Amino acid sequence: MQSKTKRKPGARWPNVPRPPRGTYRNGIDLTQIRQMLALTPAERLEVLQSASASLAELCASAKKL
């Protein structure tokens, strides 16, 4: 399937920040882990619920296309 949006070869999508260097280990984003570890379990649950809700919304939107 081809994308309808034309991009110059090698161009980056706008508003997608390049991940900071040195925050990945074995392909895992340590920044996210450190952010999560700074939260309480209740706050971590909120992050999970919010992420799941966003993904569900995204899937529902994709199905409508």
Contact 50, 42 (CB under 8 A): no
Give residue for tokens 């994308």: 3
60: left (phi over 0), alpha (psi -120 to 50) or beta: alpha
Q: Which of 12, 55, 57, 58 binds other proteins (CB under 8 A)?
A: 55
Structure tokens at 17: 């920040």
Q: Does 58 sit near other proteins (CB under 8 A)?
A: no
- Encoded one letter per residue, x for contact with other proteins by CB under 8 A and - for no contact, window 2-41 reads -----------------------xxxxxx-xxx-xx-xxx
Q: Contact residues for other proteins (CB under 8 A)?
A: 25-30, 32-34, 36-37, 39-42, 44-45, 47-48, 51-52, 55-56
